[in-house]
Amino acid sequence: MQIYNTQFHKKQEFTPIDEGKVRMYVCGPTVYDQIHIGNARTFLSFDMIRRYLMFKGYQVTFAQNLTDVDDKIINRANEQGRTPAEVAEEFSTAFIEQMRRFGILDPDIRPRATREIEAMQEMISSLIEQGNAYTVPSGDVYFSVRSDNAYGILSGRDLDRLRAGERVEVNDEKHDPFDFALWKAAKPGEPSWPSPWGAGRPGWHTECCAMIHRHLGTPIDIHGGGADLVFPHHENETAQAMCAWHTPLANVWMHAGMLRVEGDKMSKSLGNFFTLKEVLDRYPADAVRLLMLQTHYRAPLDFSFERLDGAAGTLERLATCVENLRWAADTAPQDGILSELDRSLGAAVDAAREEFVASMDDDFNSAGGLAAIFGLVSTANKYLADAGGNMETAPCLRAADMLCELSGVLGIDLAKAGAADELPAGIVDLAREQAGYAGDSASEAVNALLAARAEARASKNWGVADAIRDGIAALGLSVEDTVAGARLRMRE
């Protein structure tokens, strides 16, 4: 399996540190507001990556933090006359709720910055002792980028050129403008913890690094985040690990591309800013997921509601194909002798799986994986049309199961598609009345009714056909004529 490693600017064969196991970490949100769909795209990308690694048989340990102390949280709390802890609690809960709604698997470990202060202080102490960090009179502690010869290795930046080219925060206490705070001295009214350097709170770059070391051990296999985190956040993370423990933080660095809305950068001032919650209130989670996974995770994603409508239609087509295959499998004449056509569907099932795996093995190319799934949908639809009612159960079921399995690897849940809905009790009475049915099985009653309706239509006995249809409608069901024959559907 090939994975693109940001650090080396190329795809590399993936070899886990411990055979069969993957330890991965993805930087979580700062919990001061609802997350927007750009963040959601990053978290979805790593959910897809995690799910595929599990599909490949790896035992994955996935950690993601919550940054629950930060300037943004403190500012929001001050604006609203609340405590920072209240704001952090509200949006931590909201984040977890929206992630679950989006079908994103819970992390195995979800450390919160405010509960990991001790691990951070240990790391900072070690950096000071080794000459990589220094204290200043105000009580802040800074990391000295000049003390680390490898600084810039991840993002490919050169400190001297950076200084000339980029604007950085001016601070007289720092030895170098790119030095960053490991510990921030407490200001009045801010949350703080006691420390050897005075009361204060950890810097953002410090928390991930210390939490990874504590919960997963360093180096880990995969460290992920949005592309906007490469510099300075991830550069600073890896510098701390190299200096504190003399190990890289991660073997593979992965970054998800940015999301644009109708070609523009998403921003509140442009009025094209959407939270995940707003979007999930309007569209099924799997349609949003499908839209996002149609673009490779590293490429920029162009989001629009028009494209989202398209994805919702595509999802419907996929679910309908699975339903039709299951229905065909249930009603097919089962002589077990496979025709040329049946065998070609079976071959298409195998080919789709191979194509899916080949795409996903190539740096998690979910767009290619989806193309394999939709290739099988086209073949299956053609099979159902060409078979003219002469379908065979086994290839129909295999195709339906494969579509569900491969979609499931991408987190798209088709389990409900084609599953038997509970039939209303009145269906048996209706079949007795209209189709001369004598048993008491609801599914047999459905077949008897559909057969009687087909017979009535064939002999142009419209009164009988209509009476059956109306009886079915009165039970809250509808008759649907599909390429695979007529069937009943629960009315929505």
**Least distance from C-beta 223 to Zn ion, angstroms?**
8
Closer to Zn ion by CB, 229 or 325: give it: 229
Q: CB under 5 A: which stretch of 24-32, 109-117, 273-281, 421-429 binds Zn ion? A: 24-32
Q: CB under 5 A: which stretch of 22-30, 87-95, 306-314, 392-400 binds Zn ion? A: 22-30
**Least distance from C-beta 315 to Zn ion, angstroms?**
33
Task: Select from 238, 304, 263 the least CA-distant residue to 37.
Answer: 304
Closer to Zn ion by CB, 27 or 120: give it: 27
Closer to Zn ion by CB, 5 or 331: give it: 5
SS3 300: coil
163: which 2 tokens? Answer: 């200084």
Closer to Zn ion by CB, 123 or 208: give it: 208
**Least distance from C-beta 208 to Zn ion, angstroms?**
3
**Least distance from C-beta 238 to Zn ion, angstroms?**
11
Distance CA 320, CA 366 (A): 21
In this structure, the number of other CB atoms found within 10 A of the CB of residue 334 comes to 12
Distance of CA 226 to the CA centre of its chain: 13
Closer to Zn ion by CB, 63 or 291: give it: 63
In this structure, the number of other CB atoms found within 10 A of the CB of residue 143 comes to 29
Closer to Zn ion by CB, 222 or 468: give it: 222
Q: Amino acid identity, residue 297?
A: Y
**Least distance from C-beta 104 to Zn ion, angstroms?**
18
| 26-45 residues near Zn ion, rule: CB under 5 A | 27
**Least distance from C-beta 427 to Zn ion, angstroms?**
57
Q: Each residue of 406-440: b (16+ CB within 10 Å) or e?
A: bbebbbbebeebbeeeebbebbbebbeebbebeee
**350 to 379: interface string for Zn ion, x by CB under 5 A:** ------------------------------
Distance of CA 65 to the CA centre of its chain: 16
Closer to Zn ion by CB, 208 or 417: give it: 208
Closer to Zn ion by CB, 27 or 322: give it: 27
Closer to Zn ion by CB, 237 or 392: give it: 237
**Least distance from C-beta 233 to Zn ion, angstroms?**
6
**Least distance from C-beta 128 to Zn ion, angstroms?**
21
SS3 75: helix
**Least distance from C-beta 119 to Zn ion, angstroms?**
14
Residue with token string 């159902």 = 384
Query: Residues 25, 208: contact at Cβ < 8 Å?
Result: yes
The string of DSSP letters for 121-161 reads: HHHHHHHHHTTSEEE-TTS-EEE-GGG-TTTTTTTT--HHH
Strand 141-143 to strand 264-265: parallel, antiparallel, or no bridges (unpaired)? unpaired
The string of DSSP letters for 159-171 reads: HHHHHHH------
**309 to 328: interface string for Zn ion, x by CB under 5 A:** --------------------
Closer to Zn ion by CB, 27 or 117: give it: 27
- Asked whether position 210 contacts Zn ion by CB under 5 A, the answer is no
**Least distance from C-beta 210 to Zn ion, angstroms?**
11
Closer to Zn ion by CB, 230 or 414: give it: 230
Query: Residues 110, 63: contact at Cβ < 8 Å?
Result: yes
| 179-208 residues near Zn ion, rule: CB under 5 A | 208
**Least distance from C-beta 212 to Zn ion, angstroms?**
8
Please enumerate in sequence order all residues whose Cβ is within 8 A of that of 244, keeping only pairs 6 or more positions apart, or say none. Answer: 123, 126, 127, 130, 132, 209, 213
Closer to Zn ion by CB, 27 or 127: give it: 27
Distance CA 452, CA 475 (A): 17
**227 to 266: interface string for Zn ion, x by CB under 5 A:** ----------------------------------------
Looking at the DSSP bridge assignments, the partners of residue 253 are 223
Query: Residues 200, 193: contact at Cβ < 8 Å?
Result: yes
Number of residues engaging Zn ion in binding (CB under 5 A): 2
Q: CB under 5 A: which stretch of 19-27, 248-256, 291-299, 474-482 binds Zn ion? A: 19-27
**Least distance from C-beta 53 to Zn ion, angstroms?**
20
Distance CA 313, CA 318 (A): 9
- The H or E element that residue 210 is part of is helix 204-215
Query: Can you give the binding site for Zn ion, defined by CB under 5 A?
Result: 27, 208
